[in-house]
Amino acid sequence: MFPQLCQELAATGKRVFLYGGQPAVVEATAKRLKQEYPGLQVAGYLDGYTTASAEAVCYQINRSSADIVFVALGAPKQELWINDNAYRLNVGVAIGVGGLFDFYSGSVSRAPEWVRALSLEWVWRLAMQPKAKAGRYLIGNPLFLFRILSSKVQSRVQATMLEVC
């Protein structure tokens, strides 16, 4: 979806701001966007490792006059950041894009098409970045599934108790 969005933004002269990722990654992403979509205005970028406050980051984004900000801080951090700072931003849209900058800059390779077709890209990412992804995929995902199943069991128990009453 990202390439189509960038084409449309370039055709309409929209300005984007990139926030997140490692310094070299966000810089490479900005450079590639400028090369591939000459009409797209990259109004600015800032890495996700900045020590600047959220208020200062929002000020920089607003100063750029961006129409859209792409936030690549990883889930759920990016969604929380957008939610906590939406009132400070003078942009039309803030979009959480996860690891998009890593892929788009070429610093992390995407899984082969057949792996993606099987919905196993997470296995590829775990193999490529074991330290960074082990907590999410080997602990976080099973914990999430356990909580869902526990919630369903608890709901059934409560429903059964209500039927008895």
- Residue 78, burial from CB neighbour count under 10 angstroms (0-12, 13-18, 19+): buried
Domain range for 91? 2-108
Higher pLDDT, 152 or 41: 41
25 pLDDT band, cuts 50/70/90, is: very high
Q: Are residues 145 and 119 in the same domain?
A: yes
Whether the per-residue pLDDT at 165 is higher than 70: the answer is: no
What's the total number of domains in the chain? 2
User: Which CATH number does the domain housing residue 31 bear?
Assistant: 3.40.50.2300
Q: Are residues 15 and 95 in the same domain?
A: yes
Whether residue 76 is preceded by a cis peptide bond, meaning omega within 30 degrees of 0, is: yes
Whether the per-residue pLDDT at 149 is higher than 70: the answer is: yes
Q: What is the pLDDT of residue 156?
A: 83
Q: Are residues 56 and 20 in the same domain?
A: yes
Q: Are residues 159 and 144 in the same domain?
A: yes
51 pLDDT band, cuts 50/70/90, is: very high
Q: What's the average model confidence in pLDDT over 105-117?
A: 90
Q: What's the average model confidence in pLDDT over 39-61?
A: 96
Q: Are residues 71 and 125 in the same domain?
A: no
Q: Are residues 40 and 119 in the same domain?
A: no
The residue among 108, 140, 155 that closes a domain is 108
Report yes or no on whether pTM surpasses 0.85: no
